[in-house]
Amino acid sequence: MPETEVVLFAEEDGSCPLLKWMDTLSPKAQDKCIVKIERLCEMGYELRRPEADFLRDGIYELRPALRGIRYRILYFFHTSRGVISHGFTKPKNRVPSREIDLTVERKKKFESEPLKHTFRG
- The residue range of the domain holding 64 is 6-112
Q: Is a pLDDT exceeding 60 seen at residue 51?
A: yes
Q: Average pLDDT of the chain?
A: 95
Q: Is residue 121 part of a domain?
A: no
The CATH code of the domain that includes 62 is 3.30.2310
What mean pLDDT is predicted for residues 34-63? 96
Q: Is residue 120 part of a domain?
A: no
| Global confidence as pTM | 0.95
Per-residue model confidence (pLDDT) at position 38: 97
What type of residue is 40?
L
Q: Is a pLDDT exceeding 90 seen at residue 32?
A: yes
Percent of the chain at pLDDT exceeding 90: 92
Count Cα neighbours of 14 within 13 Å in the Cβ-side half-sphere.
Answer: 2
Q: Is residue 117 part of a domain?
A: no
